[in-house]
Amino acid sequence: MRVAFLMAPEGVEQIELTDPWKAVKDAGGEPVLVSTEAGEIQAFNHLDKADTFPVDEVVGDVSAQSFDGLVLPGGVANPDALRLDEGAVSFVRSFFDSGRPVAAICHAPWILVEAGVVSGRGLTSFPSLRTDIRNAGGTWVDEQVKVCHDGPNALITSRKPDDLKAFCEAFLTEFTKS
C-alpha cells in the first residue's frame, strides 16, 4: 500500500501528519510526502513551529496512478495554501477521477471544495468549514469520522486531532480494499 500525503511547504498540523503516517507504516505501507516544492515542509503545533519533514516527491512529478490512496492532513495554513496551487488541486482531483480513496482531516476539506469533488457527498471537517462544504453541494455532518461511498471512490473525513484514532482506522480499512 503506497499512500501520498499532500502538504504545502508550511502550515500542516504536525499530529495530523505524524499519526496517519505512523498508521500507514505500522500497516506495512509506504507513506510518501508530496509537496508543491522540493526540500522540507515546516509543520506546526497550532500556531507554533514544530518539526520539519523531508519532501519525497513534488506534486508536478507524480500521478494518482502510482498511489493506493491520498491523505490530506489539516492545519489552517496548509490546505489554504494548497487550494491556491492548481497543481495540488489537480492532483487531488485525479484521485477522484481514477476512483482512488481519499482521506481528509480538519481543514483539509477546503482542498476538496476547490477541486470540485464535494457535491452530493457526505463529509465532516473542522466545524468552521461547514458553510463552505454546504455551499459546494456537500452534506456536512458532525461525526468523529465519516466514510462516504457516494461516488466512484471512498472519501474518509474527520473533524480534528482528537478523532485521529478513528480516522486512521477508517482510512486504512478503505485503502487496503483497493
Q: What's the grid cell of residue 31?
A: 507513506
CA distances from 109 to 43, 52, 124, 156 (A): 18, 23, 8, 10
Backbone φ and ψ for 37, nearest 5 degrees, come out as -140, 150
- Active-site residue, selected from the candidate residues 46, 106, 149, 168: 106
- 46 as an active site residue: the answer is no
Q: What's the grid cell of residue 51?
A: 518539526
- Active-site residue, selected from the candidate residues 107, 148, 149, 168: 107
CA distance 119 to 4: 23
DSSP state at residue 15 = H
The whole-angstrom distance between residue 106's C-alpha and the CA centroid of its chain comes to 9
- 106 as an active site residue: the answer is yes
Nearest to 121 by CA among 156, 164, 166, 165: 156
Backbone φ and ψ for 57, nearest 5 degrees, come out as -145, 150
CA atoms within 13 A on the CB side of 10: 8
Enumerate the active-site residues.
106-107
